[in-house]
Amino acid sequence: MNGIKIYTIVVTYNAMRWAERCLGSLRTSSVPLIPVVIDNGSADGSAKYIQTHFPEATVFAQTKNLGFGQANNLGIRYALKQGATHVLLLNQDAWIDPDMIASLLRYDDGNSLLSPIHLTGDGRHRDANFEKNAIGRSPELQRFEQDQAVGRQDKYATREINAACWLLPAAVLQQTGGFSPLFFHYAEDNDYLQRLHFHGKGVYFVSGTYCYHDREHAAPKRPTAQSIYQQLVLRAVDINHSRFACWCHRLRYGLAVWHTALAEHRLRDIRYYYQAKGMFCKHYNEIQTNRQIIQTKGAHWLI
């Protein structure tokens, strides 16, 4: 692993429940990792605890919540300035196996996002979101299942992997940029994946190596005006489709919100939808400018 320099970015917000498992797992990695923590104004003493118990971590304590994407950008920007060859993005409620990084690096081509199999926090099952979107939407699903049956490890292309555990080469970040400022919370990872696909970058998960994502007991997320707005923006800036196709996707999404709201008797979701539409119209010019920016390669929002 000569020349490999991996910075691990962990964005925290009231992370005391997971700090030991998350940051402790970095210490046991067979490939050395350099932790960088961006604390988004935690009220539970997370930043102080990490500074005391994990002195190897560089902690950037914020006075306000920057959101997931912009906090990660701060950490990525720092890592690249320090000469990182790779950046590992790791959720505060996730942790890794000791040999996970070594396993991912065996498939590193310098042009792709790599991620392990995501398990639940207790390690008993695959994470439901990962099972549905990363594995279920993989064009190589059949090959993956065949390889699983005989215990063969490999990497598999997919359309979507949530950002709980991403290994990104510095070259990919330099060409694709950071997270878009249009996304405060919700859908920022989907937006980033859309850009990777557009610019010909690989998106793969690797079998036989694991991270753990402790969210199976979290309360179900209900729509809010903000989350609906972010979904509308996500469809507007998908540069893999024409503007007209994006408009059709937003229309279809709106109809789905209406249908679900009526079927489940959650009429307030319809109100949230129209609030989100108002936000979308207000920021329309900014959204279209963003769409133009991300069609070009560059370290957008990282310099």
Instruction: Read off the pLDDT of residues 266-301 as tens digits, 9 standing for 90 and up.
Output: 999 999 999 999 999 999 999 999 999 999 999 999
Contact 206, 113 (CB under 8 A): no
- First-to-last C-alpha distance (Å) of the chain: 28
Given this model, what pLDDT does residue 65 score? 95
Q: How many degrees, rounded to 5, is the angle at CA 72 between CA 175 and CA 120?
A: 110
Residue 73 confidence (pLDDT) above 80: yes
For CA atoms 202, 208, 209, 210, give the dihedral sign: positive
Instruction: Read off the pLDDT of residues 159-189 as tens digits, 9 standing for 90 and up.
Output: 999 999 999 999 999 999 999 999 988 899 9
Cα 104 to chain centroid, rounded? 17
Sequence-separated (6 or more) residues with CB below 8 Å from residue 144: 135, 138, 154, 156, 207
Task: Name the residue among 59, 60, 63 with its Cα closest to residue 42.
Answer: 63
- pLDDT mean over 242-255: 97
Instruction: Read off the pLDDT of residues 143-154 as tens digits, 9 standing for 90 and up.
Output: 999 999 999 999
Q: Residues of the chain with pLDDT > 70: what percent?
A: 100
Residue with tokens 């990777």: 196
The pLDDT-based confidence of 56 (bands split at 50, 70, 90) is very high
Contact 162, 133 (CB under 8 A): yes
- pLDDT mean over 93-104: 98
Task: Name the residue among 234, 206, 185, 182 with its Cα closest to residue 105.
Answer: 206
Given this model, what pLDDT does residue 2 score? 76
pTM: 0.95
The pLDDT-based confidence of 63 (bands split at 50, 70, 90) is very high
Instruction: Read off the pLDDT of residues 218-232 as tens digits, 9 standing for 90 and up.
Output: 777 889 999 999 999
SS3 state of residue 20? helix
Mean pLDDT of the chain: 96
- pLDDT mean over 7-17: 97
- pLDDT mean over 224-244: 97
Given this model, what pLDDT does residue 1 score? 65
Rounded Cα distance, 126 and 124, in Å: 7
Sequence-separated (6 or more) residues with CB below 8 Å from residue 165: 88, 89, 90, 91, 94, 96, 115, 116, 118, 211, 213
Instruction: Read off the pLDDT of residues 108-119 as tens digits, 9 standing for 90 and up.
Output: 999 999 999 999
Q: How many degrees, rounded to 5, is the angle at CA 61 between CA 6 and CA 226?
A: 95
The pLDDT-based confidence of 248 (bands split at 50, 70, 90) is very high
User: How far are the Cα atoms of 145, 146, 250 from residue 253, in angstroms, in the given order?
Assistant: 31, 35, 5
